[in-house]
Structure 1
Amino acid sequence: MAYFGFKDLSSLSNIDLSIYRYVTQNSDKVVYMRVRDIAQNAHVSSSSVMRFIHKIVFNSFPEFKAYIKNDNLTMKPEQPKFTYINESNIPKDIASKLMISANAVFESDNIAMLGMGDFAFLAEYAARRMASLGFNTTPVTDPFYPLLAKLRNTTNNIIFCFSVTGETAELIELINEFVNDEDVKIVCITSNGNSTIAKMSRYVLNYFEKTHHLSNNYDMSSQIPVMYIIERLDHILENMLEQ
């Protein structure tokens, strides 16, 4: 895209193009330079700089610098604000909750990560990370998965349920068989600490995040707080394994 509103770049000589490239790549510095400073840095003469300024239709060097200064102010890109997650997304007691959950995982023989819909990939992600640490972990993203049959005659089991609302009907039905089973601990990761699944769980790792849906009802809510919980839990487990 042409700078200074000048579009006929083909009319510029090689010397002009050298000045053009230097000015466009260093516009924040050029506004404080003299003609001879630009000439020295562009490796041309001062007269070449002035000819270039007149060729791109500026009457004087001050007018040229004023244009650049104003253009920098109006065209300066907005600095990105990285505010995807902060203290407002995570409860103050999350550290103790994570430690309790990590101890439960550490003592378990079998771990199931349950997630449906948008949470399916998070269940798989969490399962893969825990498996990398050496834990027997299975992701369950199928609401008809025979989890009861898989865990029958086993002990020291832990089930993680991922649900934004904590009201996912398929998950409720799937874990209902284990609510009163002493050999199974249920951990819920949800944004609703008062949900049905949270009440069915022994431990609740909750977070705070506004839900965001498109007009077609697709859920675009941020899952970064969930990723934070998963990775913090893995970090605690890794430290436990190293001790």
Structure 2
Amino acid sequence: MFTQEEIASFNELETSLYNYIAGNMDKVAYMRIRELADATHVSTTTILRFCRKVGCEGFSEFKVRLKMQLEKEKTTIPQNVQHTVAEFFERTLKGDVDEKIRHAAALIARADNVIFIGIGSSGILAEYGARYFSSLGKFSMYIKDPYFPIHSNLRDNSVTIALSVSGENESTVRHLNQRKQEGSTIISITNHKHSTIARISDVNISYYITEEWFENANITTQIPVMYALEAMAREIYALNG
């Protein structure tokens, strides 16, 4: 709810107020401004200044945002894995995903260099994808640092495969933009085709699974990504065989 820039701008009193709010969000959401002032030993003027610094017109708007944040952070029960698999088969495999996988595989098969990128759980799968492709004869690398130096020999006739559930990860977008400017063909696997990463890709494979969050962690199933990676690797093997 609070950005790093906002926190850095707080003075001593505002930092004290922030610390109280961060530790008592469920209480503050239903307090009156005078009650919060008494609890934190600051003036109502300080509270109003704090609210403006975090982009709210006043304390009432701040409490609305606070309640929305609390609602968003409510613990949810993860769906049964059979449900997510069924959703994937019903929504995705009835579409043109296999055709896109074959198109992507054809581009990768002709490439001299294949680089996977991704962050977080997508990064783990990117590393797995590089290993799986290499195991089936298409040597691939996984690079997680967008500033990692890539020799010009590895830029020629290259394919970059980006993995991202949201398709909006800033680090991945920045890395992808760099690779695109270097002339690499971009293939992405995302949850939606309208995301930034999907739109700047030459080929996008999207799988349309309901996103799941549990205690601020994105636990959206990665089964569709595994399917796409392994299907591509096997198609590439068949093409090169």
Please tell me the TM-score bracket, short chain as reference: 0.5 to 0.7
- 1:204 is matched with 204
Q: Distance in 1 between matches of 2:214 and 2:81?
A: 23
- 1:188 is matched with 188
CA positional deviation for 1:134: 1.9
Q: Distance in 2 between matches of 1:105 and 1:142?
A: 22
Tell me, yes or no, if structure 1 residue 176 matches structure 2 residue 177: yes
- 2:142 is matched with 139
* Partner SS, residue 204 of structure 1: strand
Identify which of structures 1 and 2 has the higher relative contact order when contacts are C-alpha pairs closer than 8 Å and 6+ apart: 2
- 1:241 is matched with 240
- 1:223 is matched with 222
Q: Distance in 2 between matches of 1:186 and 1:153?
A: 15
- 1:5 is matched with none
Q: Gapped runs of 5+ residues in structure 2?
A: 1-79
| TM-score (normalizing by structure 1) | 0.60
Q: Distance in 2 between matches of 1:172 and 1:114?
A: 10
Aligned partners of 1:112 and 1:137 also within 8 Å:
yes
Map Cα deviations across residues 102-129 of structure 1 (whole Å, 9 max, x no partner): 1111100000010101111100110001
- 1:213 is matched with 213
Q: Distance in 2 between matches of 1:81 and 1:134?
A: 32
* Partner SS, residue 226 of structure 2: helix
What is the RMSD computed on CA atoms of the aligned residues? 2.0
* Partner SS, residue 189 of structure 1: strand
* Partner SS, residue 238 of structure 2: helix
- Code of the aligned partner of 1:98: I
User: Kindly tell me: are residues 139 and 239 of structure 1, through their superposed partners in 2, closer, same or farther at Cα, counting changes over 3 Å?
Assistant: same
CA positional deviation for 1:161: 0.4
- 1:105 is matched with 108
CA positional deviation for 1:90: 3.8
Q: What does 1:109-120 correspond to in 2, within 5 Å? A: 109-120=112-123
Q: Gapped runs of 5+ residues in structure 1?
A: 1-79
Aligned partners of 1:90 and 1:208 also within 8 Å:
no
Identity of aligned residues (%): 27
Q: Distance in 2 between matches of 1:88 and 1:210?
A: 10
Aligned partners of 1:90 and 1:206 also within 8 Å:
no
Q: Distance in 2 between matches of 1:158 and 1:179?
A: 9
- Code of the aligned partner of 1:201: S
Structure whose CA Rg is larger = 1
* Partner SS, residue 82 of structure 1: helix
- Give runs of ≥4 in structure 1 deviating > 2 Å: 80-83, 141-146, 149-154, 177-181
| TM-score (normalizing by structure 2) | 0.61
CA positional deviation for 1:153: 6.8
- Code of the aligned partner of 1:116: I
CA positional deviation for 1:99: 1.2
Map Cα deviations across residues 47-99 of structure 1 (whole Å, 9 max, x no partner): xxxxxxxxxxxxxxxxxxxxxxxxxxxxxxxxx98342413134611122111
Aligned partners of 1:190 and 1:205 also within 8 Å:
yes
Tell me, yes or no, if structure 1 residue 124 matches structure 2 residue 127: yes
User: Kindly tell me: are residues 214 and 178 of structure 1, through their superposed partners in 2, closer, same or farther at Cα, counting changes over 3 Å?
Assistant: same
- Code of the aligned partner of 2:229: I
